[in-house]
Amino acid sequence: VLYRNAAVLARHVAAEVADLIRQRQSEGRQAVLGLPTGSTPIGVYRELIRLHQEEGLDFSNVVTFNLDEYWPMEPDSVHSYHRWMRENFFDHVNVPEENIHIPDGQLSRGKVDRFCAEYEKAIAAAGGIDIQMLGIGRTGHIGFNEPGSSRASRTRLVNLDPVTRRDAASGFGGEENVPLRAVTMGVGTIMDARRVIMMALGEHKAPIVRRSAEDEETAEIPASFLQAHPNATLLLDSAAAAEL
């Protein structure tokens, strides 16, 4: 779906998320959201915060699972996705603390695999993800599922692609400071969500958007696996759609 600009796109996504939250509230049930970081979803978070502050949208029945976190990474670091999520969303809405799940970047190597298995169990125990929001990296990654990630992959420790580390370099004051690894939900974890909303903004995403949407499904472009998802939508501004 093509949008006139990022603001209109963000309003549409936030409205869909708000509808789910209200619907579930009316049924006395929880709404389970899969959440991304990055510049792309920031407008959606802003709009959700506005709906909370100005229209009383209540997040008390919301359970969240973030897609990924750098590893190793302290949660309080300015580079962590933990901190990013607090500053850009959780500090401004009323998602209960105990309902917030973000991959732990500070575990020792020996503890990561068990953590990942438990993350998967927690998603299942919450009833699965209702809406998974996603951005896309220039490598075609979703979460941090870089090229080569299998369709069946689950939450795990991965190596970051050099392109991804280069794209993150400015925020870290140089590529050499970007972690080599990350913990991410797998492609399979993402594919299990009942609804997937993938967003891409800007001309720098146009080539990978085209390949993700128009090439054959391939592990070389993990986002291409979403072609087979029964309820996935790709939302674009005109710059990101330029090569379709």
Catalytic sites, residue numbers: 146
Closer Cβ to ligand GLP, 10 or 57, answer by number: 10
Least CB distance from residue 165 to ligand GLP, whole Å?
A: 9
Least CB distance from residue 222 to ligand GLP, whole Å?
A: 11
Least CB distance from residue 63 to ligand GLP, whole Å?
A: 19
Least CB distance from residue 37 to ligand GLP, whole Å?
A: 6
Q: Are 49 and 80 in contact (CB under 8 A)?
A: no
Sites of contact with ligand GLP (CB under 6 A): 36-40, 67-68, 135-137, 143-144, 164
Closer Cβ to ligand GLP, 68 or 104, answer by number: 68
Instruction: Dihedral sign for Cα 10, 11, 14, 19, please.
Output: negative
Q: Give the Cα separation of 240 and 220 in Å (integer).
A: 20
Which residue(s) pair with 66 in the sheet? 35
Residue 115: phi, psi to the nearest 5? -60, -45
Closer Cβ to ligand GLP, 61 or 139, answer by number: 139
Q: Give the Cα separation of 187 and 93 in Å (integer).
A: 28
Pairing of strands 156-159, 181-184: antiparallel
> Please, what's the largest Cα pairwise distance for the chain?
50
Closer Cβ to ligand GLP, 100 or 200, answer by number: 200
